[in-house]
């Protein structure tokens, strides 16, 4: 573990005293997810009228942030996030939360190369053990780099933070400038989304592809969660986990003995992740559990590390794909809704692994303002962000099938994507593909024309 030496022994102060250290024009960092501070956040919000132009970086807020609630016009605090949660999305809609696009595994490098040293970093941690180590709990992310790149390091302690094993998953007291006692409130929970019939249909197709000894990366959402449920019944054995996000579904596979990690080449026998977000069921399962390794994103998310395990199966969801295979997973037009996260890096890492496969999952249709629309389209919605390029897409899955796009021509891709669309939209998609020369006339045979030809003959 690389270390940062504080200029003086760590001093215990109140949250109000810690917030008093902040000056107008400062840049702060709140870490990410479950490591974001609470009592410091509240104390800083209480100073809202005294401060101006205070920048705050964070990611995936799991609960409301007092600094945003105290400043509904965004006149004092400027809040930036690497990945939107539902709360941050709502604040972005209100114009007071801003997105920074990353590949999650590269964020450490952004701080080292492109971001000026941070004035103050505040992280929620477990109270120090007998050796003076504060544990990060279930969120490691890019925190070691934050520690190295800050002028002042403050930790907010909470007994609710579980002790989680991992590589560099903590801070030593010699690196800390100030310590705040937290409120020890239970950690925020993210309930598993309801699984729909379409989710199950998609998941059933993906689960059928998962081989014994596969090493899983599971994304967020109903479809990846449904895959975990079906893998409990599939008979798959000795699965491994090397993932960005740890979910309740993966813990269920672990508790059922389906996940053993016995066939992994890297971190054998260990469930590897960079952040966990779920329910108390997960937080209790990972507490002081040596089978769990919470590691930084440079270990979990970089493709050249991911590929070191054999049979990496990357399973993610998207919201829209075009006929050439571009996946737009993070925006609705110019309205940002989530983030790139690790989707692209895991697609690349899985493809590069021996026997690996990446899956992009989506339902064929969705409903907006009472109108049913196809998620598979000729052109992406104007403004939609391409999260995973067509060249990186391997398997695409809807409730209507599974197709592989690697090695396919544009025409073959278009035909494969149309086969995954809802039947009600296929004829129109075929017509559009022909008119825009994605499918050459020589191999174009619309369903309607084909039916009429059969009748005529």
Longest dimension (CA), the chain: 90
Instruction: Give buried/exposed letters for 160-183 (b at 16+ CB in 10 A, else e).
Output: bbbbbbbbbbbbbbebbbbbbebe
CA distance 72 to 20: 21
Q: Is 427 annotated in the active site?
A: no
Sign of torsion, CA 416 422 424 425?
A: negative
CA distance 65 to 54: 15
Question: How do beta strands 133-135 and 170-172 pair?
Answer: antiparallel
CA distance 26 to 2: 25
Residue that the structure tokens 């379409």 belong to: 198
Tokens of 100: 């920074």
Catalytic residue among 88, 156, 175, 244: 244
Q: What is the DSSP string of 20-77?
A: TT--TT-EEE--SGGGS-SHHHHHHHTTGGG--SEEEEE---SS--HHHHT-TT-SSE
> Could you tell me if 104 and 346 are in contact, meaning their C-beta atoms sit under 8 angstroms apart?
no
Nearest to 210 by CA among 422, 419, 402: 402
Q: Which residues are catalytic?
A: 244
């Amino acid at each position: 573990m690389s270390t940062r030496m504080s200029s003086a022994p760590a001093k215990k102060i109140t949250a109000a005293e810690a917030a008093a250290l902040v000056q107008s024009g400062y840049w702060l960092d709140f870490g990410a997810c479950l490591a974001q501070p609470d009592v410091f956040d509240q104390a800083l919000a209480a100073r809202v009228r005294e401060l101006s132009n205070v920048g705050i970086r964070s990611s995936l807020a799991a609960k409301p942030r007092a600094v945003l609630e105290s400043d509904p016009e965004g006149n004092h605090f400027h809040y930036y996030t690497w990945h939107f949660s539902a709360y941050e999305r709502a604040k972005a809609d209100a114009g007071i939360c801003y997105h920074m696009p990353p590949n999650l595994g590269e964020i450490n490098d952004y701080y080292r190369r492109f971001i000026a040293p941070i004035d103050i970093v505040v992280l929620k941690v477990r109270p120090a053990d007998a050796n003076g180590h504060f544990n990060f709990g279930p969120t490691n992310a890019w925190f070691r780099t934050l520690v190295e790149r800050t002028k002042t390091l403050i930790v907010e302690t909470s007994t609710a933070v579980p002790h989680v094993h991992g590589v560099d998953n903590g801070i030593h007291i010699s690196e800390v400038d100030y310590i705040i006692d937290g409120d020890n409130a239970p950690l925020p929970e993210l309930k598993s989304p309801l699984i729909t019939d379409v989710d199950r249909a998609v998941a059933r197709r993906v689960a059928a592809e998962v081989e014994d000894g596969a090493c899983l990366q599971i994304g967020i959402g109903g479809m990846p969660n449904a895959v975990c449920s079906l893998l409990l019944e599939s008979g798959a054995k000795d699965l491994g986990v090397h993932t960005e996000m740890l979910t309740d579904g993966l813990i269920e596979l672990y508790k059922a003995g389906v996940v053993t990690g016995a066939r992994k080449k890297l971190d054998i026998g260990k469930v590897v992740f960079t952040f966990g977000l779920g329910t108390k069921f997960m937080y209790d399962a990972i507490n002081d559990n040596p089978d769990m390794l919470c590691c930084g994103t440079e270990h979990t998310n970089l493709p050249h590390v991911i590929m070191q395990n054999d049979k990496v199966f990357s399973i993610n969801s998207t919201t829209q794909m075009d006929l050439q295979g571009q996946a737009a997973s993070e925006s609705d037009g110019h309205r940002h809704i989530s983030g790139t996260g690790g989707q692209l890096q895991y697609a690349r890492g899985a493809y590069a692994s021996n026997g690996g496969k990446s899956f992009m999952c989506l339902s064929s249709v969705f409903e907006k303002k009472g109108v049913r629309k196809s998620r598979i389209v000729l052109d992406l919605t104007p403004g939609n962000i391409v999260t995973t390029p067509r060249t990186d897409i391997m398997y695409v899955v809807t409730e209507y099938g599974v197709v592989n796009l690697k090695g396919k021509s544009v025409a073959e891709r278009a035909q494969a994507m149309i086969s995954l669309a809802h039947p009600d939209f296929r004829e129109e998609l075929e017509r559009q593909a022909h008119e825009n020369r994605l499918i050459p006339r020589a191999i174009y045979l619309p369903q309607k024309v084909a039916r009429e030809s059969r009748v005529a003959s």
